[in-house]
Chain A
C-alpha cells in the first residue's frame, strides 16, 4: 500500500468530494466532516490516491445533550507529515456508521471499543463484540448520560470534600454492596451469562476456510487470564489443529479501569497522575504525550531546560521499557529469570533516578503543562551521566553478547511470527512492531515534537518482521536512545523548568488536540477535547499496546502454539495500556 503520491493528491480529493465534505469550523477544531454514505469511498481514495495509508486512531465523541455522536479518525502517511482528521456524525439513538475494517484492518479493535463504551455500531465489522466489558453488561459507560453506581458528581472537585467534608466510604453507601447497577425487575436467578459462546463461534468460523480433506478435530485452548507467561491479565483463545494455530482471538478487559470515564470527570491537571498508570512501565512517556496534547490546546511552551529534561526522561524510559521487555521476551522463550533479572538490575538503577527527580519509582507524575514539576535535584544529572556514558552501554553490550547470537534464541525467533510490511501498515501497528516489519516510521522523525528535531539519531528498523527483528530493533533503539541522551546531556542549558506559576486549576481554551509521542511501545496519542470548562469534554488515549494486539492473530496464524507465547512477548504489551 505504499503508493507514490503527488503532494496535491489531497487537494484533488477535497475538491472531488466537495459536496459531501464540510470543514469543521468550530473555533479550536479542525478537519472535515463527511457524509456517512461517502465515508468508505472517500477513505479508499484517501488511502490509495492521497497516500494516507496509516489510520492511527479512531474514537467516538458523545455530544450530549445534542442528539449527535461523532466519530473522529486520524490518518497519517507512513512517510511522515501531519494528520488528516476526518469526522462522521450520527444520531445518538441509532448510531450506525460504516466500518473501515475492509480498508484499514487495524481499526478492528478500536471500533469494537467504540461500540463497547459508546454504543456506536459499525456496519460491516466482522466481529463487533464487547471488548473491554463483558457481553450482557448494561449500558454504554462512556456516554455522558450514563452514570456509574458510585456516581458522586458530574465533575471534580466533588462538593462533598470541602468545606464540610464528612468522610465516608462510597462502597458502604451502596445498597448492593458490590458497586452494581441493575435494570428494573431484574431476576438474578433467571440470568444466563452470555459467556464466551459468541467468541468461540467467531473463532471457529475463521478456521473453516482452507481446510484439507483430512478431517481433524479442532481444539480450543484458553491461555489466560491467569497465565504465567501472559504479561498480566490477558487471555488468548486459540483454535488448534494438532499444535498449529488455526486462529487466535485476544480477549482483554480484565484490567479495564475506566481511564477515560474518570479522565473526563477529572480536571486537566488531575489526569496527569492517572496517565502514569496507563503503561506503568514507562510513565514518563505517558506524561509527555498528555502534556503535549494539553499544551497544544493551551498554547504554552516549556522553557528550554524543561524540554531537555523531558527528552532525557523519555529516553531513559524507552531504555528501561525495552530492556525490561527483552528480559521478559526471554522469559517467554523459556530462559527463566536470568535475562530478566539482569534487565531489572539496570531498571532499578534508572528507577533510582526517577525516584530522586520525581519522588516515585514508577508513577512519576513529573510533567506539568508548561514544564516539569521541579528541577533535577543536585547530583541527579551526574548520576544520569554515569549511567549513560559508562554503565548502560557496557551492560547493553554484555546483554547482546549474552543473547543476540545465542543459537536457541535465533532458532526460536527467526522467521517466527512474521508480519509483512503491508500487513503491518494496514493493521496500524506501531513502534518496534511496525519498524521491525520494514517501515522506518518513528513519530520522533516523522512528525517531530518537543525538541527531537535537534538530535542526531537514526530510526532502527528491521526487514523480516519476525520476532528476532523486533528484538534487534529494540536493542538498536536502546543504542539510539543512549545517543540522544548523550547529546541532550551535553547541551542541556540552565534556567527555569516551568513557564509561569504552577496552577492547580489551569484554563484550557475550547478546542480539540491530538498529542502524540513515540512511546516505547509505539505511537501513544492523547485526543483531548476541551469546552472551556475545567474538565476535558472528551479524553481518549490511543494506546499502542492495544492497537498492536490487532496484529496478533495475523502473526499467530499457522504458528506453533509454543511460539504464540513468544509472539506475545515480542509485541511487548502492558495491560494497563491495553485495557485502560
Chain B
C-alpha cells in the first residue's frame, strides 16, 4: 500500500499514450484514409490509434453483415426486371416481429394465385435485422443489405418500404455478397442441369 501499484498502472496508460505517436511516426501517412490502413487498424496486431475516421474512411464490412432486407431482381436481356420473389410467404411467416406484408397476385381470369407479389411491404421500424427471411427464402429472392446509412427525419412517411424501394438488382447483390452469390448461382445451375437432363 505504498502507491507502487498506481504508478505501475499509470505506466500502462503512459505507454498507450506514447504508443499512438510512435506508431504514427513509424507507419507514416499510409495508416490513414487507405483501405490497407483501415484493415491494419482492425487487425489483432493493431497498436497505436484505433479510431476509424468515419465518414472519411469506413470499416470493412464482412460479407455476412446484415442490416435491412431487400428484394433481388434479375435484369433480363430485354431490359425487363424479373423479380425473383414468388410470394410464397415463407419470409412473412418466419419473420419474428412480423414486419413483412405480402399481397399475392391472383390471376384475374382463373382466380388462382400467380407466383408474384402485387405488393410487398417491410416496416423497417419493426425489422430486427435477424436475417431469417434471407436465410429461409428458397428462391434467393430476399437478401440482407449492407447499407446502414439510412437515418431519416420522418419515419411516418419514409419507413415503410414498398416494393419499388425494396427492389435491387442481382448485380448489386453480387457486389455486396460475392461468395454467397457464386454459391447460389452454382447450385442453381446444378438444379437446372438436373431438370433439363430429366426432361
> In the complex, which of the residues B8, B11, B98, B102 contacts A156, with contact meaning CB atoms closer than 8 Å?
B98
| A355: chain B residues within 8 A (beta carbon) | 62, 64-65
Could you list some 21 contacts between A and B, CB below 8 A?
A: A152-B98, A156-B98, A161-B89, A161-B101, A162-B104, A163-B104, A165-B102, A165-B119, A273-B130, A349-B46, A359-B66, A360-B66, A360-B131, A363-B128, A363-B129, A390-B45, A401-B11, A404-B5, A407-B5, A505-B93, A505-B94
Most buried by B among A359, A390, A505: A359
Interface size on B, residues (CB 8 A): 51
Q: Are B160 and A167 in contact (CB under 8 A)?
A: yes
Within 8 A of A (CB), among B1-32: 1-6, 8-9, 11-13, 16
Q: Are A401 and B12 in contact (CB under 8 A)?
A: yes
Q: Are B12 and A402 in contact (CB under 8 A)?
A: yes
Q: Are B123 and A169 in contact (CB under 8 A)?
A: yes
Please tell me if A199 contacts chain B, counting CB pairs below 8 Å.
Answer: no
| A409: chain B residues within 8 A (beta carbon) | 5
Report the minimal beta-carbon distance from A149 to chain B, rounded to whole angstroms.
Answer: 16
Q: Are A365 and B64 in contact (CB under 8 A)?
A: no
The 0/1 profile, CB within 8 Å of A marked 1, for residues 32-68 of chain B is 0000000000111110001000000000001111100
Please tell me if A415 contacts chain B, counting CB pairs below 8 Å.
Answer: no
The 0/1 profile, CB within 8 Å of A marked 1, for residues 97-133 of chain B is 0101111100000000100000101010000111110
Q: Are B44 and A163 in contact (CB under 8 A)?
A: no
Please tell me if B92 contacts chain A, counting CB pairs below 8 Å.
Answer: yes
Q: Are A365 and B130 in contact (CB under 8 A)?
A: yes
A35 to B98, CA, bound (A): 42
Given contacts A355-B62, A401-B9, A504-B94, 13 further A-B contacts (CB under 8 A): A165-B100, A167-B121, A270-B94, A273-B132, A338-B13, A355-B64, A356-B64, A359-B65, A359-B144, A365-B131, A402-B12, A406-B8, A504-B132
Please tell me if B172 contacts chain A, counting CB pairs below 8 Å.
Answer: no
A230 to B64, CA, bound (A): 34
Please tell me if B136 contacts chain A, counting CB pairs below 8 Å.
Answer: yes
| B95: chain A residues within 8 A (beta carbon) | 157, 161, 270
Please tell me if B96 contacts chain A, counting CB pairs below 8 Å.
Answer: yes
> In the complex, which of the residues A157, A383, A386 contacts B93, with contact meaning CB atoms closer than 8 Å?
A157
| B90: chain A residues within 8 A (beta carbon) | 504
Within 8 A of B (CB), among A201-247: none
Within 8 A of B (CB), among A339-393: 342, 345, 348-349, 352, 355-360, 363, 365, 373-374, 377, 383, 386-387, 390-391
Known contacts A158-B98, A363-B130; A163 and B12 CB within 8 A of each other: no
Q: Are A273 and B1 in contact (CB under 8 A)?
A: no
Hey, which bits of chain B sit against chain A, CB under 8 A?
A: 1-6, 8-9, 11-13, 16, 42-46, 50, 62-66, 87, 89-90, 92-96, 98, 100-104, 113, 119, 121, 123, 128-132, 135-136, 144, 160, 179
Q: Is the interface of B mostly helix, strand, loop or mixed?
A: mixed
A342 to B50, CA, bound (A): 10
A411 to B4, CA, bound (A): 14
Query: What 5 pairs across the A-B complex have the smallest Cβ distances?
Result: A165-B101, A405-B5, A162-B89, A273-B130, A163-B104
Hey, which bits of chain A sit against chain B, CB under 8 A?
A: 152, 156-158, 160-167, 169, 266-267, 269-274, 338, 342, 345, 348-349, 352, 355-360, 363, 365, 373-374, 377, 383, 386-387, 390-391, 398, 401-411, 502, 504-505
Q: Are A359 and B64 in contact (CB under 8 A)?
A: yes
Q: Are A374 and B64 in contact (CB under 8 A)?
A: yes
Q: Are A157 and B92 in contact (CB under 8 A)?
A: yes
Q: Are A390 and B44 in contact (CB under 8 A)?
A: yes
Which B-chain residue is minimally distant from A398 (CB atoms)? B12
| A348: chain B residues within 8 A (beta carbon) | 42, 50
A373 to B134, CA, bound (A): 12
Q: Are B6 and A504 in contact (CB under 8 A)?
A: no
Report the minimal beta-carbon distance from B59 to chain A, rounded to whole angstroms.
Answer: 8
Report the minimal beta-carbon distance from B165 to chain A, rounded to whole angstroms.
Answer: 13
> In the complex, which of the residues A161, A169, A374 contacts B100, with contact meaning CB atoms closer than 8 Å?
A161
Which B-chain residue is minimally distant from A276 (CB atoms)? B130
Report the minimal beta-carbon distance from B31 to chain A, rounded to whole angstroms.
Answer: 17
Which A-chain residue is minimally distant from B100 (CB atoms)? A161
Known contacts A162-B102, A169-B123; A406 and B5 CB within 8 A of each other: yes
| A356: chain B residues within 8 A (beta carbon) | 62-64
Q: Are A360 and B6 in contact (CB under 8 A)?
A: no
Q: Are A407 and B1 in contact (CB under 8 A)?
A: yes
Q: Are A405 and B1 in contact (CB under 8 A)?
A: no
| A505: chain B residues within 8 A (beta carbon) | 93-94
A548 to B90, CA, bound (A): 41
| A359: chain B residues within 8 A (beta carbon) | 62, 64-66, 131, 144
| A390: chain B residues within 8 A (beta carbon) | 44-45
| B135: chain A residues within 8 A (beta carbon) | 373, 502
A357 to B104, CA, bound (A): 34
Report the minimal beta-carbon distance from A376 to chain B, rounded to whole angstroms.
Answer: 10
| B6: chain A residues within 8 A (beta carbon) | 406-408
Report the minimal beta-carbon distance from B62 to chain A, rounded to whole angstroms.
Answer: 4
A152 to B101, CA, bound (A): 14
| A152: chain B residues within 8 A (beta carbon) | 98
| A169: chain B residues within 8 A (beta carbon) | 123
Known contacts A360-B129, A377-B62; A387 and B44 CB within 8 A of each other: yes
| B11: chain A residues within 8 A (beta carbon) | 401
Known contacts A349-B44, A402-B9, A410-B5; A162 and B93 CB within 8 A of each other: yes
A273 to B144, CA, bound (A): 15
Which A-chain residue is minimally distant from B60 (CB atoms)? A352
Q: Are B9 and A164 in contact (CB under 8 A)?
A: no
A169 to B16, CA, bound (A): 51
Report the minimal beta-carbon distance from B110 to chain A, rounded to whole angstroms.
Answer: 16
Report the minimal beta-carbon distance from B105 to chain A, rounded to whole angstroms.
Answer: 9
Report the minimal beta-carbon distance from B39 to chain A, rounded to whole angstroms.
Answer: 11
Known contacts A163-B102, A402-B12; A504 and B62 CB within 8 A of each other: no
Most buried by A among B50, B89, B94: B94
Which A-chain residue is minimally distant from B105 (CB atoms)? A163
A160 to B99, CA, bound (A): 11
Which B-chain residue is minimally distant from A265 (CB atoms)? B98
Which A-chain residue is minimally distant from B179 (CB atoms)? A377
| B89: chain A residues within 8 A (beta carbon) | 161-163
A348 to B44, CA, bound (A): 10
A160 to B9, CA, bound (A): 60
| B46: chain A residues within 8 A (beta carbon) | 349
Which B-chain residue is minimally distant from A153 (CB atoms)? B98
Report the minimal beta-carbon distance from B89 to chain A, rounded to whole angstroms.
Answer: 4
A383 to B11, CA, bound (A): 29
| B119: chain A residues within 8 A (beta carbon) | 165, 167
| A342: chain B residues within 8 A (beta carbon) | 16
| A391: chain B residues within 8 A (beta carbon) | 44-45
| A357: chain B residues within 8 A (beta carbon) | 64
